[in-house]
Amino acid sequence: MARTNFIDLPEAQEDLYWTPLQSGDRFTFSKVTRKQTLLGRQKIEGLTRRSYLPAIAAIWSGYSDALKDDWRDAGGERGVTNWQAFVADQSQRIKYGIAGEATPSIYHQDWVGGIIIEAPAEEIKLAQYHPPQYWISKKVTGKKRMYEPVSVTEKFYLPLKLSINYLSDLTSTGSGSFAKLYATIRHLYQGQNLSTDFEIDIPLSGGWANLNDTLSSLLGQATSYHLFIHLYKVRGTLLFDNIKAEHSGQNWVRDPYCKDISKQFTRAFYQVPQNWAALIIPSGAWYGSVYPE
Protein backbone atom coordinates (compact mmCIF):
# COMPACT_ATOMS: atom_id res chain seq x y z
CA MET A 1 0.00 0.00 0.00
CA ALA A 2 1.29 3.44 -0.91
CA ARG A 3 2.25 5.74 1.90
CA THR A 4 1.04 9.34 1.76
CA ASN A 5 1.51 12.51 3.76
CA PHE A 6 -0.18 15.86 3.81
CA ILE A 7 0.41 19.35 5.12
CA ASP A 8 -2.42 21.29 6.74
CA LEU A 9 -1.31 24.92 6.47
CA PRO A 10 -2.84 27.83 8.35
CA GLU A 11 -4.67 30.16 6.01
CA ALA A 12 -2.16 32.95 6.64
CA GLN A 13 0.69 30.76 5.30
CA GLU A 14 -1.01 29.49 2.12
CA ASP A 15 0.15 32.43 0.00
CA LEU A 16 3.75 31.95 1.14
CA TYR A 17 3.54 28.22 0.41
CA TRP A 18 2.18 28.63 -3.13
CA THR A 19 4.46 31.53 -4.13
CA PRO A 20 7.33 29.24 -5.27
CA LEU A 21 5.13 26.18 -6.06
CA GLN A 22 2.35 25.21 -8.47
CA SER A 23 0.05 22.24 -9.06
CA GLY A 24 0.93 19.77 -11.79
CA ASP A 25 -1.62 17.71 -13.76
CA ARG A 26 -4.61 17.26 -11.46
CA PHE A 27 -6.14 14.28 -13.24
CA THR A 28 -3.45 11.79 -14.23
CA PHE A 29 -0.49 12.17 -11.83
CA SER A 30 -1.17 14.75 -9.17
CA LYS A 31 1.92 16.54 -7.94
CA VAL A 32 3.31 19.88 -6.80
CA THR A 33 6.14 21.38 -8.84
CA ARG A 34 8.43 24.39 -8.58
CA LYS A 35 7.46 27.58 -10.40
CA GLN A 36 9.98 28.86 -12.90
CA THR A 37 10.14 32.46 -11.72
CA LEU A 38 13.77 33.36 -12.44
CA LEU A 39 14.69 33.70 -16.11
CA GLY A 40 18.12 34.44 -17.46
CA ARG A 41 18.76 37.41 -19.74
CA GLN A 42 19.12 35.19 -22.80
CA LYS A 43 15.79 33.47 -22.17
CA ILE A 44 14.03 36.78 -21.55
CA GLU A 45 15.36 38.12 -24.85
CA GLY A 46 14.15 34.96 -26.61
CA LEU A 47 10.68 35.28 -25.13
CA THR A 48 10.50 38.92 -26.20
CA ARG A 49 11.48 38.04 -29.76
CA ARG A 50 8.77 35.41 -29.91
CA SER A 51 6.10 37.68 -28.45
CA TYR A 52 3.63 39.23 -30.85
CA LEU A 53 2.87 42.22 -28.64
CA PRO A 54 5.73 44.53 -29.76
CA ALA A 55 4.70 44.15 -33.41
CA ILE A 56 1.01 44.51 -32.59
CA ALA A 57 1.65 47.57 -30.42
CA ALA A 58 3.59 49.20 -33.27
CA ILE A 59 0.63 48.74 -35.62
CA TRP A 60 -1.82 50.00 -33.00
CA SER A 61 0.15 53.17 -32.31
CA GLY A 62 -0.29 54.21 -35.94
CA TYR A 63 -4.08 53.85 -35.94
CA SER A 64 -6.38 56.86 -36.02
CA ASP A 65 -8.92 57.53 -33.28
CA ALA A 66 -11.70 56.64 -35.73
CA LEU A 67 -10.20 53.20 -36.41
CA LYS A 68 -9.69 52.59 -32.70
CA ASP A 69 -13.36 53.49 -32.21
CA ASP A 70 -14.26 50.81 -34.77
CA TRP A 71 -12.27 48.31 -32.73
CA ARG A 72 -14.12 49.50 -29.62
CA ASP A 73 -17.41 48.66 -31.33
CA ALA A 74 -16.07 45.23 -32.31
CA GLY A 75 -14.77 44.52 -28.82
CA GLY A 76 -18.05 45.63 -27.30
CA GLU A 77 -19.73 42.60 -28.91
CA ARG A 78 -17.67 40.41 -26.58
CA GLY A 79 -17.29 42.70 -23.61
CA VAL A 80 -13.59 43.51 -24.16
CA THR A 81 -11.68 46.72 -24.90
CA ASN A 82 -10.64 47.86 -28.37
CA TRP A 83 -7.00 46.97 -27.61
CA GLN A 84 -7.91 43.48 -26.38
CA ALA A 85 -10.05 42.84 -29.45
CA PHE A 86 -7.27 43.97 -31.79
CA VAL A 87 -4.60 41.88 -30.02
CA ALA A 88 -6.76 38.75 -30.16
CA ASP A 89 -7.42 39.18 -33.88
CA GLN A 90 -4.03 40.42 -35.10
CA SER A 91 -2.11 37.75 -33.16
CA GLN A 92 -3.94 35.05 -35.12
CA ARG A 93 -2.86 36.65 -38.41
CA ILE A 94 0.76 36.76 -37.27
CA LYS A 95 0.66 33.23 -35.86
CA TYR A 96 -0.63 31.71 -39.11
CA GLY A 97 1.41 33.90 -41.46
CA ILE A 98 -1.55 35.84 -42.89
CA ALA A 99 -0.39 39.09 -44.46
CA GLY A 100 -1.98 42.43 -43.66
CA GLU A 101 -3.88 43.74 -40.68
CA ALA A 102 -7.07 42.61 -39.04
CA THR A 103 -10.23 44.54 -39.89
CA PRO A 104 -12.68 45.40 -37.08
CA SER A 105 -16.17 43.93 -37.45
CA ILE A 106 -19.19 43.83 -35.19
CA TYR A 107 -20.20 40.52 -36.81
CA HIS A 108 -17.12 38.41 -36.10
CA GLN A 109 -13.92 38.60 -34.05
CA ASP A 110 -10.84 36.36 -34.56
CA TRP A 111 -12.11 32.73 -34.48
CA VAL A 112 -15.47 31.86 -36.07
CA GLY A 113 -17.39 28.66 -36.65
CA GLY A 114 -16.93 27.12 -40.07
CA ILE A 115 -18.84 24.47 -42.03
CA ILE A 116 -17.57 23.16 -45.36
CA ILE A 117 -19.55 20.75 -47.56
CA GLU A 118 -17.94 19.23 -50.63
CA ALA A 119 -18.95 16.36 -52.93
CA PRO A 120 -20.20 13.76 -52.32
CA ALA A 121 -21.72 15.31 -49.16
CA GLU A 122 -24.86 17.45 -49.37
CA GLU A 123 -25.82 17.73 -45.71
CA ILE A 124 -24.52 18.34 -42.20
CA LYS A 125 -26.37 18.66 -38.91
CA LEU A 126 -24.89 19.88 -35.61
CA ALA A 127 -26.51 19.86 -32.16
CA GLN A 128 -25.97 21.58 -28.84
CA TYR A 129 -28.06 20.08 -26.07
CA HIS A 130 -29.69 22.11 -23.30
CA PRO A 131 -31.40 19.76 -20.85
CA PRO A 132 -32.47 21.12 -17.44
CA GLN A 133 -29.11 20.03 -15.95
CA TYR A 134 -25.71 19.52 -17.59
CA TRP A 135 -21.98 20.10 -17.04
CA ILE A 136 -19.68 22.76 -18.47
CA SER A 137 -15.95 23.46 -18.33
CA LYS A 138 -15.43 26.70 -16.40
CA LYS A 139 -12.29 28.72 -15.78
CA VAL A 140 -11.10 28.71 -12.17
CA THR A 141 -11.12 32.26 -10.81
CA GLY A 142 -7.59 33.58 -10.28
CA LYS A 143 -5.94 30.82 -12.35
CA LYS A 144 -4.71 31.57 -15.87
CA ARG A 145 -5.09 28.12 -17.40
CA MET A 146 -7.03 26.07 -14.86
CA TYR A 147 -10.56 24.84 -15.55
CA GLU A 148 -13.00 22.70 -13.60
CA PRO A 149 -16.23 20.84 -14.41
CA VAL A 150 -19.26 22.71 -13.09
CA SER A 151 -22.87 21.54 -12.96
CA VAL A 152 -25.36 23.94 -14.55
CA THR A 153 -29.10 24.08 -13.91
CA GLU A 154 -30.79 25.82 -16.83
CA LYS A 155 -34.36 26.74 -15.95
CA PHE A 156 -36.01 27.46 -19.26
CA TYR A 157 -38.62 30.21 -19.61
CA LEU A 158 -39.98 31.95 -22.67
CA PRO A 159 -39.38 34.27 -24.45
CA LEU A 160 -36.44 32.67 -26.29
CA LYS A 161 -34.33 34.84 -28.61
CA LEU A 162 -32.11 33.18 -31.21
CA SER A 163 -29.39 35.18 -32.98
CA ILE A 164 -26.51 34.34 -35.32
CA ASN A 165 -23.99 36.33 -37.37
CA TYR A 166 -23.18 34.61 -40.64
CA LEU A 167 -21.43 34.65 -44.01
CA SER A 168 -22.70 32.09 -46.51
CA ASP A 169 -21.45 30.87 -49.87
CA LEU A 170 -23.64 27.86 -50.50
CA THR A 171 -25.07 26.34 -53.67
CA SER A 172 -28.27 24.28 -53.83
CA THR A 173 -27.87 20.71 -55.09
CA GLY A 174 -31.58 19.95 -55.35
CA SER A 175 -35.11 20.80 -54.36
CA GLY A 176 -35.84 21.45 -50.70
CA SER A 177 -32.37 22.83 -49.91
CA PHE A 178 -31.93 24.98 -46.81
CA ALA A 179 -29.56 26.26 -44.14
CA LYS A 180 -30.95 27.13 -40.72
CA LEU A 181 -30.37 27.57 -37.02
CA TYR A 182 -33.25 26.32 -34.93
CA ALA A 183 -34.33 25.29 -31.46
CA THR A 184 -36.48 22.24 -30.77
CA ILE A 185 -38.53 23.13 -27.72
CA ARG A 186 -40.20 20.59 -25.44
CA HIS A 187 -43.44 21.77 -23.83
CA LEU A 188 -46.25 20.16 -21.84
CA TYR A 189 -49.91 20.78 -22.63
CA GLN A 190 -52.96 18.96 -21.23
CA GLY A 191 -50.99 15.81 -20.51
CA GLN A 192 -49.23 15.82 -23.88
CA ASN A 193 -45.46 15.96 -24.34
CA LEU A 194 -45.11 18.26 -27.35
CA SER A 195 -42.16 19.41 -29.45
CA THR A 196 -42.02 22.60 -31.53
CA ASP A 197 -39.25 23.89 -33.83
CA PHE A 198 -38.38 27.61 -33.74
CA GLU A 199 -36.32 28.33 -36.86
CA ILE A 200 -34.10 31.04 -38.34
CA ASP A 201 -33.52 30.54 -42.07
CA ILE A 202 -30.01 31.40 -43.25
CA PRO A 203 -29.74 32.64 -46.88
CA LEU A 204 -27.58 30.40 -49.06
CA SER A 205 -25.55 33.40 -50.21
CA GLY A 206 -24.80 36.55 -48.26
CA GLY A 207 -22.08 38.69 -46.67
CA TRP A 208 -21.61 39.10 -42.95
CA ALA A 209 -24.93 39.99 -41.34
CA ASN A 210 -27.06 39.25 -38.29
CA LEU A 211 -30.24 37.20 -38.15
CA ASN A 212 -32.41 37.05 -35.04
CA ASP A 213 -35.94 36.22 -33.96
CA THR A 214 -37.86 35.79 -30.70
CA LEU A 215 -40.40 33.16 -29.67
CA SER A 216 -42.66 34.62 -27.00
CA SER A 217 -45.23 31.91 -26.29
CA LEU A 218 -46.22 28.27 -26.82
CA LEU A 219 -49.12 26.09 -25.76
CA GLY A 220 -48.65 24.91 -22.21
CA GLN A 221 -45.37 25.04 -20.29
CA ALA A 222 -41.96 25.06 -22.01
CA THR A 223 -39.49 22.83 -20.13
CA SER A 224 -36.28 22.51 -22.19
CA TYR A 225 -34.79 22.91 -25.67
CA HIS A 226 -31.94 21.83 -27.92
CA LEU A 227 -30.14 23.88 -30.60
CA PHE A 228 -29.35 22.71 -34.12
CA ILE A 229 -27.50 24.00 -37.18
CA HIS A 230 -28.71 22.09 -40.24
CA LEU A 231 -27.59 22.43 -43.86
CA TYR A 232 -29.42 20.25 -46.40
CA LYS A 233 -29.00 19.71 -50.13
CA VAL A 234 -26.23 22.31 -50.36
CA ARG A 235 -22.50 22.54 -50.94
CA GLY A 236 -20.11 25.33 -50.09
CA THR A 237 -19.10 27.24 -46.97
CA LEU A 238 -20.94 28.74 -44.01
CA LEU A 239 -19.14 30.89 -41.42
CA PHE A 240 -20.86 32.01 -38.22
CA ASP A 241 -20.13 33.75 -34.93
CA ASN A 242 -21.71 35.31 -31.82
CA ILE A 243 -24.52 32.75 -31.55
CA LYS A 244 -27.15 33.51 -28.93
CA ALA A 245 -29.97 31.61 -27.26
CA GLU A 246 -31.20 34.14 -24.74
CA HIS A 247 -33.79 33.50 -22.09
CA SER A 248 -34.13 34.31 -18.39
CA GLY A 249 -31.86 37.31 -18.87
CA GLN A 250 -28.73 35.64 -20.30
CA ASN A 251 -27.19 33.87 -23.29
CA TRP A 252 -26.97 30.11 -22.65
CA VAL A 253 -25.04 29.07 -25.79
CA ARG A 254 -21.81 27.23 -24.98
CA ASP A 255 -18.82 28.68 -26.84
CA PRO A 256 -20.90 31.56 -28.28
CA TYR A 257 -17.77 33.16 -29.82
CA CYS A 258 -16.79 29.93 -31.59
CA LYS A 259 -13.32 29.54 -30.10
CA ASP A 260 -13.46 25.74 -30.53
CA ILE A 261 -16.90 24.57 -31.64
CA SER A 262 -15.90 20.93 -32.16
CA LYS A 263 -13.98 20.56 -28.88
CA GLN A 264 -14.38 17.24 -27.08
CA PHE A 265 -13.81 16.87 -23.35
CA THR A 266 -11.98 13.93 -21.76
CA ARG A 267 -10.58 12.68 -18.46
CA ALA A 268 -12.14 14.46 -15.47
CA PHE A 269 -14.28 16.48 -17.91
CA TYR A 270 -15.83 13.39 -19.49
CA GLN A 271 -19.33 14.50 -18.38
CA VAL A 272 -19.05 17.83 -20.23
CA PRO A 273 -20.90 17.58 -23.58
CA GLN A 274 -19.25 18.61 -26.83
CA ASN A 275 -19.87 22.26 -27.72
CA TRP A 276 -21.46 21.25 -31.04
CA ALA A 277 -21.88 17.54 -31.73
CA ALA A 278 -22.22 16.21 -35.29
CA LEU A 279 -25.47 14.28 -35.80
CA ILE A 280 -25.04 14.04 -39.58
CA ILE A 281 -21.56 14.43 -41.08
CA PRO A 282 -20.97 12.37 -44.24
CA SER A 283 -17.71 12.11 -46.13
CA GLY A 284 -16.94 15.51 -47.64
CA ALA A 285 -18.47 17.51 -44.79
CA TRP A 286 -16.39 19.21 -42.08
CA TYR A 287 -16.89 21.68 -39.25
CA GLY A 288 -14.66 23.45 -36.74
CA SER A 289 -13.33 26.84 -35.68
CA VAL A 290 -11.41 28.82 -38.29
CA TYR A 291 -9.89 32.26 -38.77
CA PRO A 292 -11.73 34.11 -41.58
CA GLU A 293 -9.18 35.74 -43.86
Amino acid at site 1: M
- Please, are residues 147 and 197 in contact by the beta-carbon 8 Å criterion? no
Report the pLDDT value the prediction gives residue 194, as an integer from 0 to 100: 96
Report the pLDDT value the prediction gives residue 96, as an integer from 0 to 100: 84
| pLDDT tens profile 196-213 | 999 999 999 999 999 999
Q: What is the DSSP letter of 269?
A: G
Taking CB atoms within 8 Å and a gap of at least 24, the contacts of 259-267 are 259/111, 259/289, 260/111, 260/288, 260/289, 261/113, 261/126, 261/287, 261/288, 261/289, 262/287, 262/288, 262/289, 265/137, 267/27, 267/28
* Average pLDDT for 144-157: 90
- Model's pTM, two decimal places? 0.81
| pLDDT tens profile 221-250 | 999 999 999 999 999 999 999 999 999 999
Report the pLDDT value the prediction gives residue 19, as an integer from 0 to 100: 65
Of the candidates 89, 252, 265, the residue with the CA atom closest to the CA atom of residue 156: 252
- Please, are residues 227 and 274 in contact by the beta-carbon 8 Å criterion? no
Of the candidates 153, 159, 161, 160, the residue with the CA atom closest to the CA atom of residue 131: 153
| pLDDT tens profile 4-34 | 666 676 766 666 666 666 666 555 555 666 6
Omega before 120 cis (within 30°)? yes
Of the candidates 112, 111, 109, the residue with the CA atom closest to the CA atom of residue 73: 109
Report the pLDDT value the prediction gives residue 15, as an integer from 0 to 100: 65
Q: What is the CATH number of domain 113-290?
A: 2.60.120
| pLDDT tens profile 258-268 | 999 999 898 88
Q: What stretches of 107-220 adopt beta strand conformation (E)?
A: 112-117, 123-130, 133-139, 147-153, 160-172, 178-189, 192-201, 205-215
Rounded mean pLDDT of the chain?
88
